[in-house]
Amino acid sequence: MSTVTNPGAERESLLTRPFLIVTATALVFFVYIGILIPIVPLFIEGPLHAGEFGIGLTVAVFALAAICARPLLGRLADRYGRRVLMVGGATLAGFSGIGSSQITEFWQLLLLRGLTGVGEAALFVGAATLIADMSPRDRRAEGASYFSVAVFGGIGMGPIIGEALLDDTNFQRAFIVAGMFAFLAAIVALFAPARVETPVDVDDTIASAVPADGRRRLIHPAAIMPGVVLACGVAAFSAFGAFVPDYSRSVGMASSGGLFAVYALVSVLVRIFGATLPERLGPRRAVTIALGNVLIGLTILASFPTIPALWVAAAFVGFGMAFNYPSLLALTVNRASDSDRAWAVSSFTMFFEVGSVAGGLLIGAFAQVVGKQLGFLGGVMFCVLGLYLLRYRLVPAGSPDAGPTVVEHAAVYIPVAGD
């Protein structure tokens, strides 16, 4: 068994070899996800002729499949380790991507997007839990920020690759190459640790959420309210991700790849150079910044149908999304015990899909009636709801965990033998 100890050195680098392997897996996998961001909506509205509501329904099916899988995924991660979820999830997504290259009917795409949703959920639960395992309690938002650089970096690079592969009509080539990226992620994940055990520390003073009779709830209680706020942000972003590819063409752009690149670049730079900001700001201020900036970006899209407005909006959305996930994940994990961590992470990350379902169906239906441009206002409404829940329910003024994290404990973690 190998042991790594940080005796009082609270600012030691989080970027250990296992940490980098996990983030590399996420980077490659989310290139796969990113490739499909512009491809799937164009495929639905083009060869499959399913319209705006078809786009929303596809997002919802992806998300619902992941939601149904979440209760099992956390338990699998606790029992068999995090690595098996990462390898299995990426492999399943790879088969789904390549299979999409051979379909001709909308229902077939829905089925394969459901499988992709299960694969993405499995990989994300395994990877995000490992990152939480390897991050000290007082630096979990920082660890999540670094990890999400890979997620948003992949999502940013993917659409550029996807648009280049598509070349207007070559959907088959784009789906096949996307699937190969997912398989590559599965190979990289083989080198990740199966699990990382955190020794007894402050987390064990937090009561387990398992009732005395031993029955486990489907959703960890610590994840519910942070997850709902996360879902509001994800629902708002779904308007950007689903409608920008076609909307940008109607405004006069040749493709949307550059917009997603700006969005991702801003997110990545903020997360790299501002990785410690979530702890310094505290979740109340950090997530207010997140939802406020996404709100501004979507309002610009709904108000100004011009190419410059698209670029500015992409930057605002990117800046906002950089602050949304890390603080809320850290808040969830810190409210759970060590023994519940995979369950809490699985429950929390489920709300990515909850937000996608809400955004996909509600904003999709709204846009079907009012058009894509005004459809962005549906995302604005989700931002407003998220801000209310954050500031008056999750971390109201004066809440003990609303402010900056107080550093009290040194970082120690022990990879399990055989990893």
CATH of the domain at 124: 1.20.1250.20
User: What is the structure's pLDDT at 28?
Assistant: 96
Q: Which range (18-32, 84-98, 271-285) has the least confidence?
A: 271-285
Structural domain of 75: 18-198+218-407
User: What is the structure's pLDDT at 199?
Assistant: 39
Residue bearing the bigger pLDDT, 81 or 192: 192
For residue 278, tell me if it sits in a domain: yes
Q: Tell whether the model's pLDDT for residue 196 goes beyond 80.
A: no
User: What is the structure's pLDDT at 205?
Assistant: 43
- Pick from 168-172, 216-220, 297-301 the range whose average pLDDT is largest: 297-301
Residue bearing the bigger pLDDT, 155 or 17: 17
For residue 414, tell me if it sits in a domain: no
For residue 206, tell me if it sits in a domain: no
Report the candidate in 31, 66, 365 with the shortest Cα–Cα distance to residue 231: 66
- Say whether 2 sits in a helix, a strand or coil: coil
Q: At CA 181, angle to CA 175 and CA 186, rounded to 5?
A: 130
Q: Kindly state the average pLDDT of the residues 229-240.
A: 93
Residue located via tokens 């998300």: 63
User: What is the structure's pLDDT at 405?
Assistant: 54
Q: Tell whether the model's pLDDT for residue 412 goes beyond 60.
A: no
Q: Kindly state the average pLDDT of the residues 190-211.
A: 59
For residue 402, tell me if it sits in a domain: yes
- Pick from 67-76, 116-125, 141-150 the range whose average pLDDT is largest: 116-125
Beta strands in 196-241 (DSSP E): 196-197
User: What is the structure's pLDDT at 414?
Assistant: 35
Q: Tell whether the model's pLDDT for residue 10 goes beyond 60.
A: no
Report the candidate in 241, 224, 225 with the shortest Cα–Cα distance to residue 367: 241
Output the CA–CA distances (angstroms, integers) from residue 54 to 80, 118, 251, 322, in the order listed.
37, 20, 22, 29
Q: Quote the mean pLDDT of the chain.
A: 84
For residue 418, tell me if it sits in a domain: no
Cα separation, 238 vs 56, whole angstroms: 9
For residue 373, tell me if it sits in a domain: yes
User: What is the structure's pLDDT at 387?
Assistant: 97
Task: State how many domains the chain has.
Answer: 1
Q: Tell whether the model's pLDDT for residue 226 goes beyond 70.
A: yes
Q: At CA 251, angle to CA 245 and CA 257, rounded to 5?
A: 35
For residue 110, tell me if it sits in a domain: yes
How would residue 3 be classed by pLDDT, with cut points 50, 70 and 90? very low
Residue bearing the bigger pLDDT, 139 or 328: 328
- Pick from 50-54, 87-91, 201-205, 352-356 the range whose average pLDDT is largest: 87-91
Is the separation of the CB atoms in 229 and 390 below 8 Å? yes
How would residue 11 be classed by pLDDT, with cut points 50, 70 and 90? low
